[in-house]
Amino acid sequence: AGRLADRVCVITGAASGIGRATAERFLSEGARVVAADLDGERLATLEGVEGVVPVIGDVSVAEDARRMIDTAVERYGRLDVLVANAGVIPLLDITEAEPADFDAVMAVDGRGMFLTCKYAIEAMLVSGGGAIVCTSSISGVAGQARQAVYGPAKFVATGLTKHLAVEWAERGIRVNAVAPGTIETERVAAAREEPGGPEYLSEVLGAHPMARFGTPEEVAAAILFLASDEASFVTGAILPVDGGYLAR
Ligand code: NAD
């Protein structure tokens, strides 16, 4: 039973934050979850949880991204859902950012998103369809300060979502994205300790009409909707989960 009963799902960045909350929510809805993450130590805390197959890997490395998808197919015979969620979140303006920062972030948030979507779509074409949910961001829709590297990388997620949705709709593959506002994760806790972090965060908080940050569970609920059959006529959508941020 559940909204994802027996669905085979790969979730990247599943060891922490939004990805972890999504893995937990998906499990409670009956899904089989391949939980992929670079951080083996954190991923180990999901080891032995019923319905979870952990895979350690780097989404920006083609063989690793392929292995995440192949694990689902080898274990369960097909892939129904990809949540392309792994990402890194640097807060840099363009004067602070080095060329290497751009490449490093684009590798994960850009190339990693491309690679996991590519191998997922190839697998879904074999098994007759599926659903992809990309984790974009308000920074992948609108402009913000200190997002000279992260912002463009998150536009990759929204761009892939729209282009892939159009191209594969007729083959039964839906592709959508969530655009979270600021979400209370460890990354945000760490940002409070960075130079200029508290000032930046209070400014960002002021831009959220609901005057609070979101929770990983609130994002997971939106990802669940887009991944489930309840969203059967929804594709190419960028769903804000942002307390009204993008409505301004
Ligand atoms: P997080 O740091 O808690 O989780 C990210 C996870 O991705 C970590 O477990 C990390 O190990 C993993 N990861 C990082 N690089 C990887 C790689 N190369 N290969 C595989 N796994 C990798 O952060 P989060 O806030 O949960 O972020 C998840 C997603 O949500 C990201 O795409 C981020 O851009 C997006 N997002 C976050 C916020 C926010 O405020 N926290 C807002 C909007 C969007």
Q: Which domains occur in the chain, in start order? A: 8-241 (3.40.50.720)
Report residue 225: phi and psi, to 5°: -55, -50
Q: What tokens were used for 154?
A: 């998150």
ipTM: 0.99
Contact 86, 19 (CB under 8 A): yes
Residue pLDDT, tens place only, 13-50? 999 999 999 999 999 999 999 999 999 999 999 999 99
Give distance in angstroms: CA of 85 to centre of ligand 1: 6
| pLDDT attached to residue 196 | 85
pLDDT at 223 over 90: yes
Give the pLDDT confidence of 117-146 residue by residue, as tens digits.
Answer: 999 999 999 999 999 999 999 999 999 999
Percent over 70 (pLDDT), the chain: 100
H or E stretch covering 167: helix 150-168
The amino acid at residue 151 is G
pLDDT of 239 > 90? The answer is yes
Q: Is 242 in the pocket of ligand 1 (CB under 6 A)?
A: no
Q: Is 97 left (phi over 0), alpha (psi -120 to 50) or beta?
A: beta
- The alpha carbon torsion through 19, 23, 24, 27 (nearest 10 deg) reads 170
Assess whether pLDDT exceeds 90 at residue 190. Answer: yes
pTM above the 0.95 mark?
yes
Instruction: Tell me how far the alpha carbon of residue 170 lies from the centroid of ligand 1, in angstroms.
Output: 31
Please enumerate in sequence order all residues whose Cβ is within 8 A of that of 228, keeping only pairs 6 or more positions apart, or say none: 3, 4, 29, 131
- Using a 6 Å cutoff on CB, does residue 112 contact ligand 1? yes
Dihedral sign (CA 139, 188, 161, 208): negative
Section 47-64 average pLDDT: 97
DSSP 8-state symbol, 46: G
Q: Is the CB of 17 under 6 A from ligand 1?
A: yes
Q: What are phi and psi of 239, to 5 degrees?
A: -95, 110
User: Looking at the predicted structure, is the pLDDT value of residue 195 above 90?
Assistant: no
Q: Kindly state the average pLDDT of the residues 158-178.
A: 98
Q: How far is the CA of 3 from the centre of ligand 1 (A)?
A: 24
Average pLDDT over every residue of 84-107: 97
Is 150 a catalytic site residue?
Answer: yes
Mean pLDDT computed over every residue of the chain:
97
| Region of residue 17 (left: phi > 0; alpha: psi -120 to 50; beta: else) | left
pLDDT at residue 120, rounded to an integer? 99
Q: What is the pLDDT of residue 189?
A: 93
- Please determine, for residue 1, whether its predicted confidence score (pLDDT) is greater than 90: no
Q: Is 86 in the pocket of ligand 1 (CB under 6 A)?
A: yes
